[in-house]
Structure formats: C-alpha cells, structure tokens
Amino acid sequence: MKMNMSDKSILLIIGGGIAAYKALLLIRLLAKKGIKVRAIVSKGGAKFVTPLSVGALTGETVYTDLFSLSDEAEMGHIELSRSADLICVVPATADLMAKAAQGLAGDLASTTLLATDRQVLYAPAMNVRMWEHDATQRNIEILRERGSAFVGPDEGDMACGEHGFGRMAEPEIILTKIEKLLKGETHIDALKPKPLAGKHVLITAGPTHEAIDPVRYLANRSSGKQGYAVARACAGLGARVSLVSGPVALPAPTGVDVISVESARDMLAACEAALPADIFVAVAAVADWRAARTVSKKIKKDDGKLLPLELEENPDILKTICAHEQRPKLVVGFAAETNDVIANAQIKLAKKTCDWIVANDVSGDVMGGDDNTMIIVTKAGATPWPTMSKQRAAQKLALEIASQFGKV
Ligand code: C5P
C-alpha cells in the first residue's frame, strides 16, 4: 500500500561539513514527496550553506541559534525537538555525533538532539581518519544502542583528497531511508547486513604479563588496539564476541564480553572455558616464556649481584585451540615478523594448524601504533593488504571472515 507522505514532517539538522550542500538536494527531494521540512542550520553548517537558501527551499523559518530571541519566540527549542516525525542530521559531523552521544547541549543542534523524543537518523560525513577513529566509532555505537538510525557513510573519494569510508550517502539513498523510517519500518540498518549474526567469535588481545615476583613481570609492547578493533568489528557484524584480554589500557568495546587475564596460562584457561566458538582469532602477543619460579615476596636487590632468571615455555594458545576437540571451524592466527614475513607466516600456518595467518611486519612502529600492514596467508597463498588504520584493517578482516566462514 502506498503511504501518503504529505502529512509527514522532518526536522533537518544541517551540520558543518562540505557535504552540507547535499542537504539542499535532499530538501528538494523531500519537498517533491510532499514531506514538510523544517531546518536547523548549525554554526558550522552555516559556513557551507546559507540559512537563506535553506529557508527558500523549505519555505519555513530556519533556526540557527539556541540563544536567539527571534528563534526562540518562533518556536522554543523543546517544542522544535518534538515538532517533526523524524529528525535527520545531514551531514552528521563527528562533532555533532560526539555531542549527541555524550549528551552535550551547548548549541541549538545538540540541545535539540538531547531534548527530542523522536527517532533520529544520522547521515555521517567526515574524513576517513575521523570516521575510523575509536572515539567516533564508540559514539556511533552509543547512538545506535539508543535506537538511532544511520545511513552511510559510503566508501569513495573525498573532498579532502583521501579515499575511504566517510563520504556521505547520496540524497536519494537518504530519502529512501527516511521514507522507510516514516513508514515505521525497522530502523536496523538494512544497508548494513549482519553476516556474523548467530556466530560466536573468540578473540585474544593484548600482551600477557608473566609474574617474577609481586611487583615485577615480563611483558611486551602490545597495546591490544588491533585485537580490540577486531572484536569491535566482529560485534558490528552481529557476532557474539568473547574477548580474552591481557592487561591493556583500552575501554571495553560496547556489546563485547571482555574476560580480563594476566598470564598466558590464564589466557589459555579463559579461552578453553569460552569454547565452543565458531571462529577463533588469536591476536594476542602472548609471552613465549614465563619465570620458571615466581616468589610471593619482592626479590631484594643484592648490590653487585645479578638475578638469575630461569625461564620456561608458555603454552601455545593458538596451537592448543587448533588441536582442541572443540576446535572452532575457522581459526585465524596473527604473526608479527621483522623479516621473511610471508615465508615465516607459512611455516607458522603449518606448525600451528590454523586456517589463516595474518602476517604483519613489525619492523616499524606497528606495536602500539594506529596503522597496520597485513598480509593474509592461507594454504592457497598470500594476499597483501595496503597499509590502513587498525580499525579499518579489523573491519576488512571481519568482513573477510564473514564471507569465508561458510567455505572453510
Ligand atoms: O609463535 P608466534 O608467537 O609468532 O605466533 C603468533 C600467533 O600465535 C598469534 O596468533 C598469537 O596470538 C598466537 N600465540 C598463542 N600462544 C602463544 C604464542 C602465540 O596463542 N604462546
């Protein structure tokens, strides 16, 4: 049944980004459908499109300022926030979404988003690095959890000259999404499939700490960023994620079950306890050795004398899980190498009997850094990926896992 849209209204919040010009095209498309549009142009938005053009296209008063007497006299901000069937933020900048996620209300756009009881649709648009930043992704998770809808962004060339995710969805696509929402269709993003829904993904991340005495331990430089990004990406594709994490200074990704451990042996026990899983991704930089003896009291320094430190080998978690009677169907290991990256990864693949090895060259500042250059090594060969942020690499890996899962 065709629905009459002429009794529907939208409150359009135009954020400050180059994609703001597309909001003008969207207003025209909405007008053609008979949908009434009222608009708020943020301070940044007004640098890209003038409130005059917006007013000319909507035929309505355009609101710009929380503290403007004329704006407030026309319609108070609380009333404005409830005046439409749907609020659309086009373009949704990183700043506007951060404000909305944190509940800030320092200007008219953010106050409206905090005061509203209406469905909100965000059409994000920003530089790829800003889009991929953990802060932005976390804010989006928060907004999504609160029931907000999203359209885009798309992958492509950007106004800033870079290429990647961050291009705002085209006005026609935004219109389709708006119509669906106005018809009351589910706001779960149909454009964003959940290919890992129903799957349990077990992931290890971070370093392990191997105690020498109550204050000293053996460790490595792993930050946990890559493993946490993989966990977030798998959860984003709908998986139930158990993240067994060594000591890191990272917040728990939303919707991920984090099991915090210290040592390699704890990590193995936690992984075994988390089975069965469909997929295992071993990202952790597990310490290869631990102190053969740990003491319960702090070892005293004895001037001039060195501490004899005898080491013994830690269990290989990846190898153990691969040989486990509940072996997950797809097992992915990581291999940090400084030389002969592919050859060493191939040896590791065979030795550990996993399905893939994600090899990375850590001769640069990968450990602790934000970028990664990965090579996906399988029995069939090696596929190098270009250098990209750990977040983006994790998303690409999660998609690869989702698409190959049924085929292994
Ligand atoms: O042997 P190597 O440490 O280079 O292998 C790296 C891969 O093996 C990673 O996936 C890492 O998480 C995993 N690993 C493990 N347990 C160990 C050592 C490594 O799970 N004790």
CB distance 259 to 176 below 8 Å? no
Lowest mean pLDDT across 9-23, 243-257, 295-309: 295-309
Sheet holding 356-361, edge to edge: 257-260, 240-245, 200-205, 279-282, 330-337, 356-361, 374-378, 381-384
288 CA closest ligand 1 atom index: 21
The pLDDT score that the predictor gives to residue 66 is 82
Determine which residue's CA is closest to atom 17 belonging to ligand 1: 316
Look at residue 164 and tell me whether its pLDDT is greater than 80: no
Helix (H, G, I), strand (E, B) or coil at 82: coil
Indicate whether residue 267 lines ligand 1 (CB < 6 A): no
337 CA closest ligand 1 atom index: 4
The pLDDT score that the predictor gives to residue 67 is 78
Lowest mean pLDDT across 66-80, 83-97, 237-251, 310-324: 66-80
Distance from C-alpha of 201 to C-alpha of 243, rounded to nearest angstrom: 8
Is residue 322 part of the annotated active site? The answer reads: no
Indicate whether residue 124 lines ligand 1 (CB < 6 A): no
Cα dist from 371 to 129, 220, 229, 364, whole Å: 11, 18, 12, 10
Cα dist from 389 to 132, 139, 178, 246, 394, whole Å: 8, 18, 32, 22, 8
356-361 and 374-378 beta bridge pairing: antiparallel
The pLDDT score that the predictor gives to residue 338 is 84
Indicate whether residue 345 lines ligand 1 (CB < 6 A): no
Distance (angstroms) between ligand 1 centre and the Cα of 333 equals 7
Look at residue 30 and tell me whether its pLDDT is greater than 50: yes
Summarised one tens digit per residue, pLDDT across range 361-404 is 877 665 667 788 899 999 999 999 988 888 888 988 999 999 88
Indicate whether residue 374 lines ligand 1 (CB < 6 A): no
Distance (angstroms) between ligand 1 centre and the Cα of 266 equals 15
Distance (angstroms) between ligand 1 centre and the Cα of 336 equals 9
Summarised one tens digit per residue, pLDDT across range 313-335 is 999 999 999 999 999 999 999 99
Indicate whether residue 318 lines ligand 1 (CB < 6 A): yes
Lowest mean pLDDT across 20-29, 151-160, 349-358: 151-160
- Alpha carbon 21 to chain centroid distance? 27
Question: What length does the chain have?
Answer: 408
Look at residue 277 and tell me whether its pLDDT is greater than 50: yes
- Ligand 1 pocket: which of 316, 341, 346, 352 to mutate (most atoms <8 Å of CB)? 316
Report the pLDDT averaged over residues 193-197: 83
Distance from C-alpha of 320 to C-alpha of 372, rounded to nearest angstrom: 27
Cα dist from 145 to 46, 81, 177, 256, 286, whole Å: 30, 20, 18, 13, 33
CB distance 153 to 159 below 8 Å? no
CB distance 305 to 356 below 8 Å? no
The pLDDT score that the predictor gives to residue 146 is 82
Distance (angstroms) between ligand 1 centre and the Cα of 317 equals 7
The pLDDT score that the predictor gives to residue 133 is 87
Lowest mean pLDDT across 148-157, 187-196, 302-311: 187-196
Determine which residue's CA is closest to atom 4 belonging to ligand 1: 335
357 CA closest ligand 1 atom index: 10
Look at residue 190 and tell me whether its pLDDT is greater than 50: no
Report the pLDDT averaged over residues 111-131: 93
pTM, two decimals, is: 0.66
The pLDDT score that the predictor gives to residue 365 is 65
Look at residue 107 and tell me whether its pLDDT is greater than 90: yes
Distance (angstroms) between ligand 1 centre and the Cα of 286 equals 6
Helix (H, G, I), strand (E, B) or coil at 105: coil
Helix (H, G, I), strand (E, B) or coil at 73: helix
Indicate whether residue 348 lines ligand 1 (CB < 6 A): yes
The DSSP letter of residue 169 is: P
Confidence band of 191 (pLDDT split at 50, 70, 90)? very low
Determine which residue's CA is closest to atom 9 belonging to ligand 1: 334
Residue 238's region, left for phi above 0, alpha for psi from -120 to 50, else beta, is left
Distance from C-alpha of 399 to C-alpha of 199, rounded to nearest angstrom: 13
Residue in 88, 160, 271, 354 annotated catalytic: 160
The pLDDT score that the predictor gives to residue 332 is 98
Highest mean pLDDT: which range of 57-71, 195-209, 246-260, 296-310: 195-209
CB distance 17 to 47 below 8 Å? no
Please name each of the domains of the chain with its CATH number. 9-183 (3.40.50.1950), 200-292+305-403 (3.40.50.10300)
Look at residue 118 and tell me whether its pLDDT is greater than 70: yes
Indicate whether residue 314 lines ligand 1 (CB < 6 A): yes
Q: What does residue 193 show for φ and ψ, rounded to 5 degrees? A: -65, 160
Distance (angstroms) between ligand 1 centre and the Cα of 265 equals 13
Cα dist from 89 to 238, 244, 342, 345, whole Å: 25, 37, 46, 46
The pLDDT score that the predictor gives to residue 6 is 77
Distance from C-alpha of 265 to C-alpha of 317, rounded to nearest angstrom: 8
Distance from C-alpha of 6 to C-alpha of 265, rounded to nearest angstrom: 64
